[in-house]
Structures are given as C-alpha cells and as structure tokens.
Amino acid sequence: MNKLCLSALLAAMLWISLPLTAGAADTFNGESVEELDWEVLMPADYNIEAIFAASADQYSSLDDFDPLADIKFKAMMESLASAPVVQEMDGKMIRIPGFVVPLSEEGARVTEFFLVPYFGACIHVPPPPSNQMIHVVFEPGTNIENLYDAVWVTGKLKVATVAHDLGTAGYVMDAFQIEPYEYEEES
C-alpha cells in the first residue's frame, strides 16, 4: 500500500470520530426511532487507531513492491473486516446519516448499498472497519444522483456480516425511508 493511500485512510478514520447528530427522533410505523452517531456502532473499548499505530513506522519504510507490504496490507484489511460490533444495536429502529456506496443499481436507482460515514469509503481508500459499514436493502429503490450527497436512512438495524468486493459490513438494515441529509445549524 502506498504512503498516499495510507495517509488518506488515516484521515478518513479520524473523521469517523467526529460527531454528526444524535438523539431521540420520531416514531416510524408506531415504533420509536433512535437517531444515531456512527461512533455508537463501535464498542466503547474499540480503538481503530490501534490497527494502524502498531505498524505505522513499518508502513512508512516499506516499498510498494516489498512482499511484506502486501502481507501487512492483507492483515490490516482482515482487521478492518472483523471489527467488533455492538450487539445491543440488534433489532433497533434507527435513523443515521451517511454516504451511499452502490452495490445494486439500475441507472441512478439504487436498491442495495453500503452506508458509510464518509465520502469515498470503499472507493478511493480501503473500506472503513466493518462496524462502520451498514449493508442496506431498500426494495423500492432510491435515486442517487450524486454520490457526494449524504442521506438519512431509517430502518431496522441487525447485527450481521455481509462481505462484498468493496468491503465487509458488520450491520444490515432493511430501510423504510431514505431522504436527503440537510445540515442543521445549532442556534
């Protein structure tokens, strides 16, 4: 893995820790909906930086063509794909903002995607840890005209692993509603 890719990944991982919006939301079909931050999906004792800190010095001294670089990269990817999840989230009705990484689409209409906390995840840098990816199915489909635009997704969250070429999600959601994310200024 080259130094630029590692730098982009580290910057993206720091973004995960930034708060978005959290709190109690409304109800959906009579069920209480909890509005979440992404950090709630990580166990309190999980430290993403530890995955990178242990080998940061080694990465910077490795050449892209060094066989050890490939071994280290694969180990890092395995750590990201097997990140621990929060079991208490299983079965909760939630609303969470994020970015769409399409997995099944027809034109601009997407019915299956990964929801991730930052733009470019799974595409420009290695994927986020599995506890920061949600595999979403939305049968009616939604039009995603611009992948730069964040969305709110409301649905029932389940703890389950879904692996794909683009990454591994530690959570699954049957979405009931997808809407554009609008930044709410605090007064």
For 109-132, the pLDDT digits (tens) are 899 999 999 987 766 678 899 999
pLDDT tens column, 28-76 = 777 899 999 999 999 999 988 876 676 566 667 777 788 887 887 888 8
Contact of 93 with 177, CB cutoff 8 Å: no
Alpha carbons 105 and 142: distance in angstroms, whole number: 9
Tokens of 134: 């949600």
Of the given ranges (13-17, 71-75, 81-85, 142-146), which has the lowest mean pLDDT? 13-17
Number of domains in the chain: 1
Contact of 132 with 96, CB cutoff 8 Å: no
| Domain presence at residue 89 | yes
Alpha carbons 156 and 175: distance in angstroms, whole number: 7
Query: What is the residue range of 65's domain?
Result: 3-180
| Domain presence at residue 187 | no
CATH number of the domain bearing residue 171: 2.40.50.870
Alpha carbons 45 and 7: distance in angstroms, whole number: 24
Phi-psi region of 91 (alpha: psi -120 to 50; beta: other; left: phi over 0): left
- The whole-model pTM stands at 0.79
| Domain presence at residue 185 | no
| Domain presence at residue 140 | yes
